[in-house]
Structure 1
Amino acid sequence: MSERHLLLVLHDVAPETWADYRDFVAAVDALGEVPISWLVVPDFHRRQPLVAHAELRRRLDARLARGDELVLHGYHHQDDAPPPRTPGEWLMRRVYTHEGEFYRLDQAQALQRLEQGIAVFRRCGWPLHGFVAPAWLMSEGTRLALRETPLSYTSDLRHLYRLPDFQAIDAPGLTWSARSGWRRGVSRVVCAGLAARYRRAPLLRLGLHPVDMRHEFSRRYWLELIEHLLAAGRQPLTKIGWLDRQLSLVPGVTA
């Protein structure tokens, strides 16, 4: 395919992070029709039950009406497994992130949280196609549990995966670690290199986080990059929109 597409993905969507995204999303909306995939956390850090926040639910209803997509993003977005016991675990769960909720879950634990998240979406009346684990970290138990759900896809930083068979599709992603000034500086350099490397890739994902929105340096980078990619001819879609489009292009297959 000669077409090139862009997926704009907003992570960690919850009542307490909505304000971080509000102005940025307004600026994106001003660019034209740029659908967004919103990664929604049902009970962020065990203090933000989505079903109790009618205002955010109304806002997300409105985003769906615009053509956006809502994606299940963990359940608590918090690593509450027993403390790390090896250097490798400590690196992944304390240096890389503190929020790899699905990194250590067994199959039964993962399935329970997935089903709870699916139930929240159903209660809100939202269509649901995909799941993204916090920090893209999935245990083998999580992978097995996903095969038991009606979900149609998941992803990590480099791929989309069709479920239930985990068919891998190349989908390079750009993301920042924006928690400190030096991290933001390094992230900009790394992402600039990756954007150049993947400029001809059929699909490019931008994975943004609330902390990116709290710093003018990172917020401006993302908005300018989106403008550049649109001007270069990339067509914006949601995750499920892109996946359905690929199926529609296969002879004899319908989405």
Structure 2
Amino acid sequence: MLVSLSGIGPRTLHRCAELAAELDRRKVPLSLLFAPQLAGTPAVTEWVRTRVRRGDGLLLHGYDHRIAPAHRPHLGRKAEFAALPAHEARLRLIAAQAAFDRAGLTADGFAPPRWLASRGTLEALRGQGFRLCADVGAIHDLETGAVHRARVQDFANHNQRTETVRCFALVLASARAARRGGLVRLGIDAMDLTRPGLRQALFDAVDVALENRAFGTTYQSLTASPRGTTRTSVPSGARLVNNP
């Protein structure tokens, strides 16, 4: 089971810390999706460093999340790396890696904003020495070419009218995947932690997966483990993330 957290910033840091503490009690590591350009304060970066030292995973989460006018939108895919050719993706990755270096961080994994990465981005990632890329439908091992197929389940594009349904679907998808021995991928944006229903649904999804013999890991550990290649199924019909 992989649990990722994005949207880490000054206004959400206390909620991120609360989430991390709850998962620590469950012995489930977080995978932190972090864009240092958007961190805001040194305290945020220091918290990320501390969590990584304690065993959480870290993935580069884009550069500044801006969409170039020339690529807005491409078939409705509105995200920083969704439609970039390789040379433009490479320039953004170089800038993002430099920001990571200045922050005293290192990451060999990449999770694009909104989980959307173009083929050019995958090519650029290989050229920049990244080991993995996690997109909306799979985790790409950029060294071996292996693809671990499992759709990330989160609350993207939710609204209050559908919140209850999405919460139920998240827990159901987690239970189904875990019972089948599949890979459970859960994700939450830190802003969603302000909504008690979404927060509780995430914990319920984690708990039901653990009850069905899933165990927590990070994206880096998954691609490093031969066992990771066998746990790639995901239930059909439980789709909380819509391709933009």
Shift in CA distance, 173/84, structure 1 to aligned 2, threshold 3 Å: closer
In structure 1, C-alpha distance between the alignment counterparts of 2:206 and 2:73, rounded to whole Å: 41
Please say if residues 5 and 31 of structure 2, whose CA atoms lie closer than 8 Å, have aligned partners that are also in contact: yes
Letter in 1 for 2:28: V
* Alpha-carbon distance change, 158 to 175 in structure 1, aligned in 2, over 3 angstroms: same
Is 1:137 matched with 2:116? yes
Secondary structure at the counterpart of residue 197 of structure 1: helix
For residue 192 of structure 2, the aligned residue among 202, 212, 225 is 212
Decide whether the 8 Å contact of 2:2 with 2:186 is kept in 1: yes
User: Is this contact kept in 2: 1:159–1:171, CA < 8 A?
Assistant: yes
State TM-score, norm by structure 2.
0.82
Counterpart residue identity of residue 216, structure 2: P
Are 2:105 and 1:126 aligned?
yes
> Cα–Cα, structure 1 residues 233 and 83, in superposed 2: closer, same or farther, change >3 Å?
closer
- The answer to whether 1:18 aligns with 2:13 is yes
Give a deviation string over 1:6-27, Cα, whole Å, max 9, x none: 1111123334432342322222
Amino acid in the other structure paired with 1:202: G
Q: Does 1:243 align with 2:237?
A: no
Matches of 1:180 and 1:84, distance apart in 2:
24
Runs of at least 5 residues in structure 2 that lack an aligned partner in the other structure: 230-244
Larger radius of gyration: 1
Task: Determine the structure 1 residue equivalent to 2:30.
Answer: 36
SS of 2:127 mapped into structure 1: coil
Distance 1:151 1:182, change over 3 A: same
Runs of 4+ that moved beyond 6 A: none
Q: What is the 5 A alignment of 1:138-157?
A: 138-157=117-136
Code of the residue aligned with 1:21 in structure 2: it is: C
Alpha-carbon distance in 1 for matches of 2:90, 2:11: 26
Alpha-carbon deviation of 1:153?
0.3
Superposed CA offset, 1:18-46 (max 9, x none): 23423222222233x221110001223xx
Q: Distance in 2 between matches of 1:237 and 1:85?
A: 34
Q: In the superposition, relative to structure 1, how do residues 187 and 248 fare at CA in structure 2: closer, same or farther (>3 Å)?
A: closer
Identity %: 25
Residue 198 (structure 1) shift: 1.5
Change (3 A) 1:236 1:85: closer
Offset at residue 82 of structure 1 (A)? 3.9
Q: TM-score, normalised by structure 1?
A: 0.79
